[in-house]
A and B are shown apart, each in its own frame.
Chain A
């Protein structure tokens, strides 16, 4: 569904992303891991069409994504790391606005809002101002805003930062439901246990390059465990990317 081919992006002498390739199929969640500054967000930004790559292509359903108004962008939904919501508007008015950006209107928009709010468990709070929501509720609404136009591909950039275990668990349930519906999910996070639970494949990037692309068990099998036990993903990650601080 989503294919990333040899993406490269540099800012002056700094090469942020260097020849990154991977693909995500329908019903699959790909975990994109990497230390801070590894190039995860730049990669997601290129896939979302926010940044034009210096080289390489983003293929959506086999066709390359081109330009701001490419209709193929309708197949992509972005759930940004920031809580990209208007606090002074109600949940419903936020979703009305974001839905209209995808030319949804009238009954179709109302149906999409009801479905998205229902999925994230906020149907009973639709008329409340976002500023009255807890952090976890805002995160769930942030997810709903990315789902409104029913995209085939969902880009999730650290979608569980700062939420309580209950909200995080609810978001996981939502993502598993989306996988069952056949959506292709690209998921970046620093929480290894999330990837262990959700990801079908894991891509690790560092210094802008892909250094591993495998399943969880495939990655674990690269390192010998103690007394026959499998190593954790975090141990694999630290082995691949090193223990030096990146900030």
Chain B
């Protein structure tokens, strides 16, 4: 392959790219800005960062010891921001989206809950009013509320005045109950009488011998599986990978559109009239596209490293390999745009849609784990998924060179497939 024409094509494309200020800004500055924004959202709480609390409103219509204990428990939870407005104010706040969930504790809740706790009394309702666009927060509030209600009710039942009172009332009822089998009735009465004995004992000094009710029977020790035990997850690594890939794909789609414009302006007639092979012409385009793509990715990550302390915790060679494979894949995607596009205008519209679909399905915007299981499997056919996973692996996951070989191989496979299809479908004849 003659080197002078090939190098000339690469140099010319680089000159054209850097002479277009708009392209340079879109390709280099915009992914950094958006990557920084997404990174700040998805980084998760750091050591010195207060977690985002879910805004809820609690309306206590009961006013019992149990309901007060529930409100106290919810107010002390580090995941919640609790307000205690009127019901009307709470409903309005949820409707306007300012509050995720409104918890309404009805009148006589404590009494009914106590009865239901020991006997077969009807279970009282807790009414939740919620913002339908915040289902995830509703699920979290439901779980947190269950913990605090169980703790409050059981604490009162096993250690409070209400508990003693209900126990005394429940024992005769259980003894008379025809619906409980005799063997079970005997065991239940034995257990409740033991509790009654505890109630009747005087409190020891310090008052710590009384049962404190049910509590969570375990403590959670959380360990984020990053590159190392003392290395925190850096969400900027993922966001810069995603945005870098998105914008290099846009840049390469634009390269394909530019090729269509070159054809429209008669430039390909001139190129094809020179004694240069088709392979050299396409390789020149692919090479210049790959260089531009690689520059976009490396500049994005250099910024993320300098400003947001993103580090390549895994193999540096693996990272460069994934970045290079990703760049070649994106460049061959640009060739495919030029080969399949009928006109610059239609190609621009179609490729914008294609790139947005690829980056969305590939996990460049949001992590793929939130997708349904079938979609997570499906996205394996999307090259962006391999690119994002490969860059994640070599940055914050700290995976070594061997672990990056699979994404490199798959991305080069996509590049070969795109390139072969582009070469096959490219319109060479210039009439």
Contacts and interface: CB of A to CB of B under 8 A. Distances in A.
Q: What range describes how many residues of A lie at the interface?
A: 35 or more
A171 B269 CA distance: 21
Interface SS of B by simple majority: helix
A191 interface: no
Nearest to B270: A84
A74 B271 CA distance: 12
A102 B5 CA distance: 7
A61 interface: no
Contacts of A11: 431
Interface in B6-29: 7-9, 11-12, 15-16, 19-20
A74 B275 contact: yes
* Most A CB within 10 A of own CB, among B5, B8, B11: B8
Given A51-B431, A89-B16, A82 B275 contact: no
Interface in A76-98: 76-78, 80-86, 88-89, 93, 96-98
* Most A CB within 10 A of own CB, among B2, B273, B429, B430: B273
A145 interface: yes
Given A50-B269, A82-B269, A68 B277 contact: yes
Interface in A34-83: 41-42, 45, 48-52, 68-71, 73-74, 76-78, 80-83
A101 B5 contact: yes
A88 B275 contact: no
A84 B8 CA distance: 16
Given A50-B430, A83-B265, A100 B7 contact: yes
B41 interface: no
A219 to B, nearest CB: 28
Given A68-B275, A103-B2, A89 B429 contact: no
Contacts of A85: 267
A217 interface: no
Interface in B248-287: 265-267, 269-278
Given A100-B5, A101-B8, A103-B2, A76 B273 contact: yes
B12 A86 contact: yes
B183 interface: no
Contact of A145 (B9, B270, B276): B270
A92 to B, nearest CB: 11
A45 B269 CA distance: 8
B402 interface: no
Nearest to A74: B275
Nearest to A16: B431
Contact of B12 (A73, A97, A103, A104): A97
* Most B CB within 10 A of own CB, among A11, A68, A89, A96: A68
A105 interface: yes
B266 A80 contact: yes
Contacts of A105: 4
Nearest to B3: A103
Contacts of A89: 12, 15-16, 19
B269 A88 contact: no
Contact of A70 (B271, B275, B278): B275
B274 A101 contact: yes
Contacts of B8: 96-97, 100-101
Interface in A193-231: none
A98 B336 CA distance: 25
Given A82-B266, A101-B8, A51 B277 contact: no
Contacts of B269: 45, 48, 50, 78, 80, 82, 84
Contacts of B265: 82-84
A78 B12 contact: no
A102 B274 contact: yes
Contacts of B11: 97
B290 to A, nearest CB: 19
A100 B4 contact: yes
B20 A101 contact: no
B273 A103 contact: no
A52 to B, nearest CB: 7
Contacts of A104: 4
B7 A71 contact: no
A103 B15 contact: no
Contacts of B9: 97
B267 A50 contact: no
A75 to B, nearest CB: 10
Interface of B: 2, 4-5, 7-9, 11-12, 15-16, 19-20, 265-267, 269-278, 429-431
16 contacts: A11-B431, A16-B431, A41-B431, A45-B269, A45-B430, A45-B431, A48-B269, A51-B430, A78-B270, A86-B16, A88-B16, A88-B19, A100-B4, A100-B8, A103-B5, A145-B270
Interface of A: 11, 16, 41-42, 45, 48-52, 68-71, 73-74, 76-78, 80-86, 88-89, 93, 96-98, 100-105, 145-146
